[in-house]
Homo-oligomer: A and B are copies of this chain.
């Protein structure tokens, strides 16, 4: 079973100890069980959950959005159709992010490819490269 203390979980997922308490306050992670002393005991599930939060944050999702993602489920309050609808919205967002990243990647690659022609290049090569690929909002 192996339950983790606060510092153990913090080390495992590489976040500050206090961040865990903050996430708990924010409702991003559920209140863990406690020992009689009041000490928190985290199940291994928490590792996955906090990892997910960190990942999603790095991808530009806010904590509120992450909370929404984590709570997407069918229950008596939320019908299947509602869940599907929200999920589709999130999926569309993710597709957009992927497409944008792909454009930036292309621009960077164009940049490095043209790099052998040394000497100063234009004002802002990455933007030029993006424009040459039809970068639009």
Contact = CB atoms under 8 A, between A and B. Distances in A.
A127 B51 CA distance: 10
A94 B105 contact: yes
A74 interface: yes
A14 B87 CA distance: 26
Nearest to A129: B72
Interface residues of A, number: 56
Interface string A52-80: 10011111100000000111111110011
A88 to B, nearest CB: 7
A90 B73 contact: no
B115 A72 contact: no
Contacts of A121: 73-75
Nearest to A56: B104
Interface string A110-134: 0110011011111111110011000
B102 A70 contact: no
8 residue pairs, one from A and one from B, having the closest CB atoms: A60-B60, A75-B120, A80-B115, A87-B112, A80-B118, A84-B112, A58-B60, A87-B108
